Structure 1
Amino acid sequence: MTLGLAACSASGAGQSLRGTGDLGVVIARATGELAVIDTTNRAFLSKVSGLGDLSHASVVYSRDERYAYVFGRDGGLTKVDILAAKIVKRVIQSGNSIGGAISQDGTLVAVANYEPGGVKVFDARTLELIVDIPAVPEGGGARSKVIGLVDAPGNRFVFSLWDHDEIWVADMADPRKPEIQKFQNVGRNPYDALITPDGRYYIAGLFGEDGMALLDLWHPEQGVQRILGSYGKGEDDKRPVYKMPHLEGWAIADDLAFVPAVGRHEVLVIDMTSWREIQRIPVAGQPVFVMARPDGRQVWVNFAFPDYHQLQVISSESREVIKTLPAGKGVLHMEFHPRGEIVWVSVRDENKIIAYNTETFDKLEELALESPSGIFLSARAHKPGL
């Protein structure tokens, strides 16, 4: 009887009964839309409009994978029901924002803000503002832009302060009164960051100097370490950097990290037990995303202008390029199916997304979408930092 009522209720609401595990969303940045994709049938299901400025948008998911939280560049935070294809609630919470995160228990959504600088934390169900954390350094001063906001185990958020060279860890055990641990002098202008898949290490790249800042969240009492002292733009290197690489796309396989070199036609190989560089792999251009297939056997790379019309695949065993794919002009983002058999690629300047078989490299599907950028599948709901 209960199942019958549930089925009638779903039918009455105009929704077919289905799960969300094979769904995802694709950002259409020029039109302020989000397209819901069915990855099993490799087809778009619906579009949701009215999402504001999506020129640098990102998405996180609720634990049940039904709701996508969209972070727009205009400070908009939008909760979207991907089954009903509608906006549940939208708030303009700042003047300029740069991404966000959802807490380990799924109850809190945090947004990193450029203007005014800081982090705002919201109730994931209602989008009620729970707490505003101004990014003001010890001793006072102007608010800082916040970047590299991620969730961490223990219902914590970790983020970096661009203007004040700090990393903060916010313990949200009491959401309205978070405990903030601050690490100072981590390096000039941290510009992006990641958390490793096990949730242990937070690593921030530095724009103002070479090197990276590493915080072991299992042992924060050890403070922030400086690693990879030669990583960065290179203070004496005058070559143009067409796009700073995204650190979120680090590929990790067999205790090795495959890392985009800034401004160079190389992917760096890092030993994660010592945090030392052990190899450089020549590639076709300046890498932006360097992403591992879920089994770790392959690493896929896309590139900045003018080489952004192609993809390259590196074998994590041989550490050599094994395939080059001419995907089309303006490749921006990649996303693997949870078990890695397919990768989706957005090709902005040709208004399409492409699905490739990752074993044969055959093109399986090509779907039209105006100016696509980020691709976010619902499996992210269960991965730290995503």
Structure 2
Amino acid sequence: MFLHVFGLFIALILVSGCADLRATGDLGVVIEREQGSVQIINTSHPAMLSRIEGLGDLSHASVVFSRDQRYAYVFGRDGGLSKIDLLQDKLDIRIIQAGNSIGGAISQDGKLIAVSNYTPGGVKIFSADTLELLSEIPAVYGDHKTSKVVGLVDAPGQRFVCSLFDANEIWLIDAKNPRQPQVQKFKDIGKQPYDALLTPDGHFYAAGLFGEKGLALLDLWQPELGVNHILQDYGKDDEQTPVYKMPHLEGWTVAGDWLLVPAVGRHEVLVIDKRDWSLVKRIPVAGQPVFVMSRPDGRQVWVNFAFPDNQTVQVIDVKGFNVVKTLQPGKAVMHMEFTPRGEAVWLAVRDEDRVMIYDTETLQETAQLPAQKPSGIFFSNRANQLGL
């Protein structure tokens, strides 16, 4: 009798424990910028699971995930680097590693975290496990000047790639020995690279240029060939317009053989043929695009905009390269994120204090979640994608 009762007791404990089990591939985080907090959310059954506070200045925050998808690494604008345990709903480690940071990346093997910094300008490499500082690469150029570092991504071969905004350079960092990384520098790549993308196959790194027309393109399979300039003739005769918000470039702009990228300061999305890097089309859109994001299957591209048009989102059909839907989700749509297979997209609507979820086939809203001034949405499937 005792053994029978004891067995039932153990079974109840196991059942109770299983009820709390959480699948890491089903998780994500929502940045709450003004509160310095993040929500841990369920992406398949939309819900907030917990809130992690005390993360500092998240006014320009980005996130990468450990390869097992258990940990989220949050890069804060104040130089904070926070490691969050998504299964135990807690802040595992937090350090202040710089004075002003713009983002970071996780290495191909998942063991290293690299951070790009404005102040002091440079790249720091940390252990993903302990956040121990392993090495520091100051972004020094010219006569002992220091540059802001932007566009930092991970690349195959245990490498990182970044751009130096002030130095007009691209750096290819070999981190196989993370305590003594090797840096290959490409100079005079174009004026003021402001952000960059890595193609999803890890083959090409393209930096957008703020100080001149076009993009700087580096073939990572043949870096010895140096940097090429593409789209140099785009808009050279157009009237210059004020830039209300710097657009972002990431690998999500790639849709099959095409790159769809935001035009700096213009109401256009540019279509580039990835096979020869020629400009195929200029798609007129509702404002200055900020994020131009391809659905995972590459059929749709969703676009949000800078102020004063940031209440609008437009959907482009890649088949015809035309806008097929204009949505008005609310004031200040700051960021978007597709579910792993693209059946839904989540929108961070900052000034409405909510996250909105749309069906990407019907283009209808399906759910809302409350959030405190949300500005970024990141799902854990990013752990398995290069350059994000």
Tell me the TM-score normalised to structure 2 length: 0.94
- Whole-Å separation in 2 of the counterparts to 1:153 and 1:11: 42
Cα gap change, 1:176 to 1:364, in 2 (>3 Å):
same
Contact 1:209 1:235 in 2 (8 A): no
- Whole-Å separation in 1 of the counterparts to 2:144 and 2:167: 9
**2:382 counterpart SS class:** helix
Q: 2:42 aligns with which of 38, 45, 49?
A: 38
Q: 1:83 aligns with which of 84, 87, 96?
A: 87
1:201 correspondence with 2:182:
no
Residue equivalent to 2:272: 270
Task: Give 1:83 shift.
Answer: 1.3
- Whole-Å separation in 2 of the counterparts to 1:260 and 1:236: 16
Q: 2:370 aligns with which of 363, 368, 384?
A: 368
Residue equivalent to 1:166: 169
Q: 2:295 aligns with which of 293, 313, 329?
A: 293
- Whole-Å separation in 2 of the counterparts to 1:332 and 1:39: 19
- Whole-Å separation in 2 of the counterparts to 1:175 and 1:381: 20
Residue equivalent to 2:101: 97
Per-residue deviation, residues 99-157 of structure 1 (Å, max 9, x unmatched): 000000000000001111100000000000000111112x6512211111000001101
- Whole-Å separation in 1 of the counterparts to 2:176 and 2:14: 36
Residue equivalent to 1:283: 285
Task: Give 1:185 shift.
Answer: 0.7
- Whole-Å separation in 1 of the counterparts to 2:15 and 2:359: 34
Superposition pairs of residues 1-386 of structure 1, within 5 angstroms: 16-137=20-141, 140-231=143-234, 237-248=239-250, 251-386=253-388
- Whole-Å separation in 2 of the counterparts to 1:303 and 1:39: 24
Contact 2:200 2:251 in 1 (8 A): no
**2:196 counterpart SS class:** strand
Task: Give 1:237 shift.
Answer: 2.8
Give 5+ residue unaligned stretches, structure 1.
none
Contact 1:27 1:373 in 2 (8 A): yes
- Whole-Å separation in 2 of the counterparts to 1:282 and 1:161: 30
- Whole-Å separation in 2 of the counterparts to 1:120 and 1:201: 23
Residue equivalent to 2:4: none
Cα gap change, 1:23 to 1:15, in 2 (>3 Å):
same
**1:112 counterpart SS class:** strand
Task: Give 1:241 shift.
Answer: 1.6
Task: Give 1:16 shift.
Answer: 2.0
Give 5+ residue unaligned stretches, structure 2.
1-9
- Whole-Å separation in 2 of the counterparts to 1:380 and 1:11: 31
**1:41 counterpart SS class:** coil
Per-residue deviation, residues 216-258 of structure 1 (Å, max 9, x unmatched): 00000100001111357x6873322211211126522231111
- Whole-Å separation in 2 of the counterparts to 1:200 and 1:341: 27
Task: Give 1:164 shift.
Answer: 1.0
- Whole-Å separation in 1 of the counterparts to 2:233 and 2:311: 29
Cα gap change, 1:222 to 1:9, in 2 (>3 Å):
farther
- Whole-Å separation in 2 of the counterparts to 1:55 and 1:260: 21
Name segments (4+ residues, structure 1) moved above 3 Å.
7-12
Contact 1:192 1:205 in 2 (8 A): yes
Structure 2 residue identity aligned to 1:67:
Y
Structure 1 residue identity aligned to 2:99:
G
Structure 1 residue identity aligned to 2:158:
N
Contact 1:250 1:259 in 2 (8 A): no
- Whole-Å separation in 2 of the counterparts to 1:121 and 1:144: 17
Contact 1:15 1:84 in 2 (8 A): no
Tell me the TM-score normalised to structure 1 length: 0.94
Contact 2:350 2:374 in 1 (8 A): yes
**1:381 counterpart SS class:** helix
Percent sequence identity over aligned pairs: 63
Contact 2:198 2:251 in 1 (8 A): no
Moved more, 69-78 or 280-289: 280-289
Cα gap change, 1:11 to 1:147, in 2 (>3 Å):
farther
Residue equivalent to 2:7: none
